[in-house]
Structure 1
Amino acid sequence: MSLSLISDLTDLCLQIAGLESDLKEITSLLEKCERQRVRDVLTQEHKKIEKELAQKRQQKLQQAKKDSGDKTDTTLKGYTVKINNYGAFLRIIGWDQSDKFVKIYITLKGVHTIPAENVEANFTERGFNVLVKDLDGKNHQMTVNNLLFPIIVAESSKKIKTDMVLIMCKKKSAKKWECLTQAEKQSKEKDKPNMNENADPSEGLMSMLKKIYTDGDDEMKRSINKAWVESQDKKGKADDLDF
């Protein structure tokens, strides 16, 4: 490998390490965050870093391919298909858990027919990357960077089954996971109504109206403004009668 390639690869490794640290810190902040506006800002930054991290990892793979004469050039041929949970080939069909492990089931037709070394799984404290090389002339890749809780990288692994890759993430603690990723949890919490029994019902209504007003279009805002003015008029007339 040439000195320039070594330098480029080292630089990419440092960038990846920095992005992983940023992602870890933002995830920690999201877990502690209580203000929705701050949570939204952090969530957007989380997604931005995830995207940049995936790009840097792909660049690292491409740089490694330039090392003349190694086996990567022969096994990582064709083009890479990056697919999310809803992809046509590589997709998560479900997950379950025990006290020690979270198991993610990823389907990919024919994955059991290629050499085992063509299926790679790399783990981080809050995620994993699956790369399947040279299946029907293509490479397939899936990256998850926002698992709900930290995992033990050294004790996590993969298993290849018929048309399926099983990802075994070793839990750092035995706590039960209510969902697979931090993004799923945030989505559920955002849609969850306020169930505080001691809260003033009128405050909950006002909060809901403010959200509808903020998210609504011009027509919705005009309707809410009109309803508010009419309610204030009625309240004023009632106060006059009481007096």
Structure 2
Amino acid sequence: MDISEMIAGLESDLKEITSVLEKCERQRVRDVLTQEQKKIEKELEQQRQQKLQQAKKDSGVKTDTTLKGYTVKINNYGWDQSDKFVKIYITLKGVHTIPAENVEANFTERGFNVLVKDLDGKNHQMTVNNLLYPIIVAGSSKKIKTDMVLIMCKKAETKKWDCLTQVEKQSKEKDKPNLDANTDPSEGLMSVLKKIYTDGDDEMKRTINKAWVESQEKKAKADDFDF
């Protein structure tokens, strides 16, 4: 059976189920028929799109899928979340002015790939393969806004995400000081101070040094009165 025959059959099915729905009085039966009607409509649309693509191919119309220019990695983004979605905000000036088909988004259970083609002579891409928790592919989508692409990842579970990816979580856990139950609390504090001192700028280091000197002076004075 070719595509035209499938479309004709689906159109007949849709016409018949619509006719039955108009005469149906029981709500439960109407609900079942309505669900079936939506399935047929969706399948019919898919077959029509497939027929259109086939017609373009047969007529020699080719879609240019090659990337023009060079591709750069997207680094400018932020993220937020609701109970149902993790939202990634990708800032790209002028993205709303290019054809919508130039913005592609594909999803997997633990990641997504965004490709924006031919924006200011460049392609922009963001790939994440290690989201913190699984997402529902079918419920995820993209939206194009002014100077921004919004990626909507539907959560598989309505739990709060502490970070976007597993790599970020591992990095945070690695940076946590080891506060073992058998460890002297002062050692844990020293570990934190050392890390702040190492990672801090000059101003931070001066502040810590000053605080350290003052604490040592107070300790020395206290020792002088300890008989």
Aligned to 2:68: 78
Matched, 1:201 2:184: yes
> Hey, what's the Cα distance between the residues in 1 that align with 2:116 and 2:172?
32
Aligned to 2:22: none
> Hey, what's the Cα distance between the residues in 2 that align with 1:77 and 1:98?
35
Structure 1: 4+ residue segments shifted above 4 A: none
> Hey, what's the Cα distance between the residues in 1 that align with 2:106 and 2:174?
31
Residue correspondence of structure 1 range 223-234 to structure 2 within 5 A: none
Quick check: 1:77–1:137 contact (8 Å CA) kept in 2? Answer: no
> Hey, what's the Cα distance between the residues in 2 that align with 1:194 and 1:152?
36
Structure 2 unaligned spans of 5+: 1-59, 192-227
Q: Partner of 1:72: helix, strand, or coil?
A: coil
Residues 39-67 of structure 1: CA deviation (Å, up to 9, x unaligned): xxxxxxxxxxxxxxxxxxxxxxxxxxxxx
Matched, 1:100 2:93: no
Matched, 1:142 2:126: yes
2:70 alignment partner AA: T
> Hey, what's the Cα distance between the residues in 2 that align with 1:140 and 1:164?
12
Aligned to 1:180: 164
Quick check: 2:74–2:124 contact (8 Å CA) kept in 1? Answer: no
Q: Shift of the alpha carbon at 1:183?
A: 1.0
Residues 205-226 of structure 1: CA deviation (Å, up to 9, x unaligned): 8xx8xxxxxxxxxxxxxxxxxx
Q: Tell which deviates more after alignment, 113-122 or 139-148.
A: 139-148
> Hey, what's the Cα distance between the residues in 2 that align with 1:69 and 1:150?
39
Matched, 1:189 2:173: yes
> Hey, what's the Cα distance between the residues in 2 that align with 1:84 and 1:161?
17
Aligned to 1:116: 100
Aligned to 2:207: none
Quick check: 1:80–1:141 contact (8 Å CA) kept in 2? Answer: no
Residues 151-189 of structure 1: CA deviation (Å, up to 9, x unaligned): 111110000000100000000101100011111111110
Quick check: 1:77–1:138 contact (8 Å CA) kept in 2? Answer: no
Q: Tell me the C-alpha RMSD between the 2 structures.
A: 2.3
Residue correspondence of structure 1 range 134-173 to structure 2 within 5 A: 134-173=118-157
1:201 alignment partner AA: D
The alignment covers a number of residue pairs equal to 130
Q: Partner of 2:158: helix, strand, or coil?
A: coil
Instruction: Tell me the TM-score normalised to structure 2 length.
Output: 0.52
